[in-house]
Structure 1
Amino acid sequence: MRAIDGDRGDFIAMVRNLGAATMLPGLASRMGKHVVTNVLPVPDAGRSMPEMRLSDHSPFWDAGYDAVMVTDPSFLRKPHYHRMSDTIDTLDLPFLASVTEG
């Protein structure tokens, strides 16, 4: 994802399998009014992109269901993610507020 979207977590990614295409236009449009929103279609249940399978949506893909993961890809960008240094002062609170509003 870093190769696609750079190294700054200033957007929301909507990761979807190909069948979930009809779910996203409205959601992405509404979210996009508050924060930059990128839709990333992932073929073949993300088997060639393991980092796109690191959440609760991938078992649904594996079972043949359409599913979407909405994420700020922080685990790919934030050096503090899930470490002892992951404290409130390392968060981008204005971004969090925008995402919540969206």
Structure 2
Amino acid sequence: MAPSSTPGKLDGSGPVVAGKLLARKRPHLIPIYDIRIKQLFERPKTDHSFWAALPAALRADNGAFYDQLARLRNKAGIGEDIGVLRVFDVIAWMHQGRQGQVPTS
């Protein structure tokens, strides 16, 4: 990895990089969580509940949000090998990108 601009993190493995690596390794289990997602959902600066809040939202109302993401995946013609978390990630990133508020981190 390239050196990080964050002091004390010479290998670049801050929380965002670590989260993105985990999301890449386990796409059906770990959502992407970075500054774009944090701002889109107006999460607190120190956020320890996102990892529990998203699965709870996916299960709420008998899985209505999960089912909606699955329908969007099917409508887009994407195979079931792409998990609903990736669908969530793409929709959130696209929405935030249109807002033009935040550069990627």
Asked if these proteins are the same fold (TM beyond 0.5), I'd say no
**Which has the higher relative contact order, 1 or 2, with Cα contacts under 8 A spaced 6 or more apart?**
1
Point out the structure with max Rg over C-alpha.
Answer: 2
- Greater share of helix residues, 1 or 2? 2
Q: Considering fraction of residues, name the structure with more strand.
A: 1
